[in-house]
Amino acid sequence: MINLRFVHRLLFLTAIYIFLPPTAARGGHSDYINPGYGNFSFHGIARNLFAQEELRPSLELTRGYMTNDDLEKAMKDFTKRCSKISRLYSIGKSVNGFPLWVIEISDRPGEIEAEPAFKYIGNVHGDEPVGRELLIRLANWICDNYKKDPLAQMIVENVHLHILPSLNPDGFSIRKRNNANDVDLNRDFPDQFSPVNDDLSLRQPETRAIMTWLRDTRFTASATLHGGALVANFPWDGTEDRRKYYYGCPDDEAYRFLARIYSKSHRNMSLSKEFKEGITNGASWYPIYGGMQDWNYIYGGCFELTLEISDNKWPRAPELPTIWDYNRKSMLNLVASIVKTGVHGRIFSLDQGKPLPGLVVVKGINYTVKAHQEYADYHRLLAPGQIYEGIRLSSYHHSIIPGIQAENSKCLVR
Catalytic residues, by residue number, are 308
Contact partners, residue 44, CB within 8 Å, separation at least 6:
none
Distance CA(277)–CA(232), nearest Å, equals 9
- Whether 158 contacts 339, CB under 8 Å: yes
Closest CA to 376 of 349, 352, 397, 336: 349
Within a 13 Å sphere around the CA of 51, how many CA atoms are in the beta-carbon half? 14
Closest CA to 13 of 362, 408, 331, 345: 408
Residues 66-95 as b or e (16 or more Cβ within 10 Å = b): bebeebbebbeebbeebeebbebeebbebb
Distance CA(200)–CA(188), nearest Å, equals 10
Distance CA(192)–CA(180), nearest Å, equals 26
Closest CA to 358 of 377, 344, 379, 343: 377
Distance CA(296)–CA(301), nearest Å, equals 6
Distance CA(99)–CA(88), nearest Å, equals 11
